Amino acid sequence: MADVVPHLRLTLDGARRILDAAHARALAMGVPQNIVVVDEGGHMLAMVRMDGAKPLSVLSAHAKAKTAASVRAPTGGAPADAELKLAMAQDLHFTNLRGGLPVIVDGACIGAIGVGSGSGDQDLEVARAGLAALAGAKQF
């Protein structure tokens, strides 16, 4: 077994590419959004709060991104009866709200995007647009 392995990493340029595409989609939809891009550990790389976006939704957007990066899956798929238990077990850093997508390239989760301030469907649409801008990223 190797002591060291190569590691893919989402760069700031990649995070900004995701952020810019998501921002453009939110503008086209006419839905002001908070958009957060994190690395694989859930640490923020890029963020925007559009004019008119709900200020507290910055927190949910970040939570969506951290959750998607942590579970390596889109947010919103956990059973409803487990939501509170999962959130409590994760010291309230877990959310089951729709709008978080992991950034998976070559089978490795290298980050995530979280979007908040619209409906769950709107948040997810904006997140998908951001993810589509990164070459090689798995689409959800």
pLDDT digits (tens, 9 = 90+) for 1-33: 899 988 999 999 999 999 999 999 999 999 999
pLDDT at 65: 98
Contact 126, 100 (CB under 8 A): no
Q: Report which residue type is found at 79.
A: P
| Residue 117 forms part of a structural domain | yes
| Residue 66 forms part of a structural domain | yes
Total number of domains in the chain: 1
Which one, of 128, 117, 123, lies nearest residue 18 by Cα?
Answer: 128
| Residue 138 forms part of a structural domain | no
What is the distance between the alpha carbons of residues 87 and 91, in angstroms, rounded to a whole number?
6
pLDDT at 85: 73
Taken in order 80, 114, 40, 93, the sign of the CA dihedral is negative
What range defines the domain where residue 103 resides? 12-132
Q: Regarding beta strands 34-39 and 44-49, do their DSSP bridges make them parallel or antiparallel, or are they unpaired? A: antiparallel
| Residue 110 forms part of a structural domain | yes
Contact 109, 4 (CB under 8 A): no
What is the distance between the alpha carbons of residues 121 and 101, in angstroms, rounded to a whole number?
13
| Residue 121 forms part of a structural domain | yes
In this structure, what CATH number is given to the domain that contains residue 71? 3.30.450.150
pLDDT digits (tens, 9 = 90+) for 101-123: 999 999 999 999 999 999 999 99
pLDDT digits (tens, 9 = 90+) for 44-100: 999 999 999 999 999 999 999 999 999 999 999 887 887 767 766 676 678 899 999
| Residue 95 forms part of a structural domain | yes
| DSSP 8-state assignment for residue 138 | P
